[in-house]
Amino acid sequence: MTFAFLLSSLAGGGAERAMLRLAAAFRHRGHRAHVIALDPKVEHEVPAGVEVHVLQGRRGLLGTWLAARALRALYFRLGLGSDCVTVSTLPYADQVAVSAKLPNLWCRITNTLSAEIGELQRASPSKAARRLARYRRLYEGRNLVAVSDGVAADLRSGIGLRRARIVRIYNGFDLDAIRSAASQSEPDLPREPFVVHVGRFMPQKRHDLLLDAWQRAGLGHKLVLLAASSRALQSLILQRGLQDRVLVAGFRPNPYPWMRAAELLVLSSDREGMPNVLVEALTCGTRVVSTDCPSGPREVLRGELARWLVPPGNADSLAAAMRAALAAPRPDERALPQDFTQARMVSAYEALGAAQ
């Protein structure tokens, strides 16, 4: 089979890492796999054997049309026809793929879109209405891959899609590869015990909530943020007087040594699609605490692990959970649900290709 994975860029982020991992898994199974980025920015390590093609995509109606034309030309040069299954990720890439009228297209939805619209509603009702209309035009009647049951339900009830074909496929992980990467040397690791947060600085990740909780938790650890530094992020830290207790370590192509060395990984988001970092941290044998946001965390933290879910937006609950988790034993590797293996993910995508 031939698969093409279309992304807005290969800049740092869980969606981008997941697509590269997916392409590598297909190569390992003997399939042909292309990764196509609409922006030249590349921060992730590209797995060996994965073909990457970069287009100079631009935003706006004209930019989308030009990117779609360039994408069709690339497919012609590569000989990608009706036997190629294309998986696009994130709305701009989805829009370009739809505009290019690619055959066998599946748009992969990584977030609860109605929660995004709800955030916009509070700031600008008219902008929220336009965003909802855009998503309905873009996704109604399409083939969609939802990365969690929560995302699938949101597409139906939150966005109101009635004719879309929606298939839930969890992100899959090569657990042995993660553990191997976690064992690699990392000279920048703090020498003192630390708690880690992995995620780019953006509103839904709620770094402000995390810092408030950190201030209230009164822990002797260092808080490490694997995120690019910015004036806005540094300002949040300075406002709380936490400059000596928080380290902004930047984006790391290999975050796993940091996860393994951390005493705890914290997810503080208001919304997620499927939080890869929870699966990755558990694979590294690291404790986790997460907001019980829509959607994804509850689908990873099941059974006994569900005790580490806290209400979104509650700094006191997050602080208390961090203190309790640090006093608890590290999780057993067997606590991780088997739904998140790479083999299951690849088989599910192969089924999409076989059904065309």
Query: pLDDT value at position 29?
Result: 86
- Judge if 301 and 212 occupy the same domain: yes
Spatial strand order in the sheet of 194-198: 246-248, 222-226, 194-198, 264-267, 287-291, 309-310
- Judge if 19 and 160 occupy the same domain: yes
Query: pLDDT value at position 11?
Result: 74
Write the CATH number for 266.
3.40.50.2000
- Judge if 150 and 10 occupy the same domain: yes
Give Cβ neighbours of residue 209 (< 8 Å, ≥ 6 apart): 268, 313, 315, 318
Query: pLDDT value at position 149?
Result: 96
Give Cβ neighbours of residue 62 (< 8 Å, ≥ 6 apart): none
Total-model pTM: 0.88
- Judge if 139 and 208 occupy the same domain: no
- Judge if 134 and 60 occupy the same domain: yes
- Judge if 189 and 121 occupy the same domain: no
- Judge if 90 and 211 occupy the same domain: no
Cβ neighbour number for residue 260 with a 10 Å cutoff: 22
Give Cβ neighbours of residue 71 (< 8 Å, ≥ 6 apart): 6, 36, 55, 96, 97, 100, 102
Query: pLDDT value at position 57?
Result: 58
pLDDT in tens, the chain (356 residues): 899 999 988 876 667 777 888 888 888 888 888 999 988 777 777 777 778 898 875 666 568 888 999 999 999 999 998 889 999 998 999 999 999 999 899 999 999 999 989 989 988 999 999 999 999 999 999 999 999 999 999 999 999 999 999 999 999 888 998 999 999 999 999 999 999 999 999 999 999 999 999 999 999 999 999 999 999 999 999 999 999 999 999 999 899 999 999 999 999 999 999 999 999 999 999 999 999 998 899 999 999 999 999 999 999 999 999 999 999 999 987 778 888 988 899 899 999 876 66
- Judge if 191 and 163 occupy the same domain: no
Give the residue numbers spanning the domain of 153. Answer: 2-172+341-354
Which backbone phi and psi does 37 adopt, to 5 degrees? -110, 140
- Judge if 109 and 209 occupy the same domain: no
Distance CA 45, CA 50 (A): 11
Q: Per the structure block, which two tokens stand in for 172?
A: 């899959």
Query: pLDDT value at position 19?
Result: 81
Query: pLDDT value at position 334?
Result: 74
- Judge if 167 and 268 occupy the same domain: no
Domains held by the chain: number: 2
- Judge if 195 and 134 occupy the same domain: no
- Judge if 93 and 216 occupy the same domain: no
Query: pLDDT value at position 20?
Result: 84
Distance CA 21, CA 27 (A): 10
